[in-house]
Amino acid sequence: MAVSARPIRVAIVDDSATIRKLVALELARHRDIDLVGEAEHPYQARVMIKSINPDVLILDIEMPHMNGLDFLKKIMALRPMPVLMFSSLTRRGAGAALEALSIGAVDCLGKTPTLATDGTLQQIAPLVRMAAGATLAQPRVQNAGAGSGFRNRGRIVLIGSSTGGVDALEQVIGGFPAACPPTLITQHMPAEFLRSFSARLNGMCAPEVRLAEEGAPLREGTVFLAPGGDFHLALDGRATPVCRLDPRDKVSGHRPSVDVLFRSAVPHAGRVVAAILTGMGADGAQGMLELRGAGARTIAQDRDSCTVFGMPRVALENGGAERAVPLQRIAPTLLELCMQPGLQTA
């Protein structure tokens, strides 16, 4: 008889006794997860973490004495571990959540006013399992920048990402020149966070980064981010492609979906260079396979640099991705492929 793996040991740091109780009740339903510690604020948490050494930490962003971001920085510097953040879905909360993901948190869960009844609690156990197996963010390696000789040859860049995508996209788009190829990105994230994320990328990267709008023309130097909420991001199938917001239901378990973006670009595949980055699940793998079959150039982030080697793994296994590329080489590789002339397929 096989010996079962030990349960995942979880600790929570949140100043709300109600939140701690709700999380405890939810995790108690799962035999493979043990809640082994609770703390009201980071000063209590420091002692607790040293004592119990949890596998995963659930950390609130807004707390007294020391906020969650400052504590997260200390954790990642002194005692790195998988951390899931709780954040309000306000503009301020969204900005803090993105900062946490950039610092090294594995994922962030929105703290909604109706947390107890809207299904949010049911997301915690799957996220804990994912975090327990995640690869912690590595120190950033400076991208080899695109030299002044970069010249796009009519290419369009498509990128799909999920868990770990904030840090990955900051590095990839941060490696693009101001006159980058027209770029469309689908990142799995609540719409409230995506608004803040587009503003964050726009402020830290050379190209213009903005949320996609219906009918927006593709142009060099602009990166469009799927707005999420009720819409997928897609390419209109006309000869001159534009952004289209597709209101259909979830596809491959997500809205926005990477598969929707990739499949919508099949008529333009000869011009497309696509990348699939870190993320849980398989969204984008089938769409990438269809893109590659129609003539697109495709790459996937490699295992060692992924926070979660899910979406890229499936894309490599099914043949959708031509090859695996380390994160620090994604931007240079995309730009190199864009300097090769595309084929007009529309």
Contact between 222 and 152 (Cβ < 8 Å): no
Query: What is the predicted pLDDT for the residue at 345?
Result: 52
**Tokens 């980058």, residue?**
180
Active site residue 302: no
Query: What is the predicted pLDDT for the residue at 91?
Result: 66
Active site residue 188: yes
Active site residue 283: yes
Query: What is the predicted pLDDT for the residue at 92?
Result: 73
Query: What is the predicted pLDDT for the residue at 3?
Result: 45
Residue 172, token pair as written in the block: 């990839």
- Sheet with 107-111: list strands edge to edge: 33-39, 8-13, 56-60, 83-88, 107-111
Query: What is the predicted pLDDT for the residue at 1?
Result: 40
pLDDT-flagged residues of the chain (< 70) = 1-4, 89-91, 139-148, 342-346
Q: One of 55, 161, 167, 188 is an active-site residue; which one?
A: 188
E-strand ranges in the chain read: 8-13, 33-39, 56-60, 83-88, 107-111, 156-161, 183-187, 208-211, 222-225, 232-235, 243-246, 272-276, 297-301, 323-325
Query: What is the predicted pLDDT for the residue at 111?
Result: 83
Q: One of 55, 107, 246, 283 is an active-site residue; which one?
A: 283
Q: CATH number of 9-132: 3.40.50.2300, 3.40.50.740, 2.60.40.3620, 3.40.190.10?
A: 3.40.50.2300
Distance CA 166, CA 163 (A): 8
Q: One of 87, 88, 162, 196 is an active-site residue; which one?
A: 162
Tell me where in the chain the CATH 3.40.50.2300 domain(s) lie: 9-132
Report the phi/psi class of residue 109: left, alpha or beta, with left for phi > 0 and alpha for psi in -120 to 50. beta
Tell me where in the chain the CATH 3.40.50.180 domain(s) lie: 156-338
| Architecture field, domain 156-338 | 3-Layer(aba) Sandwich (3.40)
Distance CA 95, CA 114 (A): 21
Q: pLDDT by residue (tens digit) across 49-84?
A: 999 999 999 999 988 888 899 999 999 999 999 999
Q: What angle do CA 69, 327, 59 make, to 5 degrees?
A: 20
Q: 62-65: long-range contacts (C-beta < 8 A, 24 or more apart)?
A: 62/87, 62/88, 62/93, 62/96, 63/13, 63/14, 63/15, 64/15, 65/41
Q: pLDDT by residue (tens digit) across 123-150?
A: 999 999 999 999 987 766 555 555 557 8
Query: What is the predicted pLDDT for the residue at 81?
Result: 96
pTM: 0.89
Distance CA 101, CA 163 (A): 9
Beta-strand pair 208-211/232-235:
unpaired
Q: What angle do CA 174, 177, 182 make, to 5 degrees?
A: 95
Q: What are phi and psi of 243, to 5 degrees?
A: -70, 140
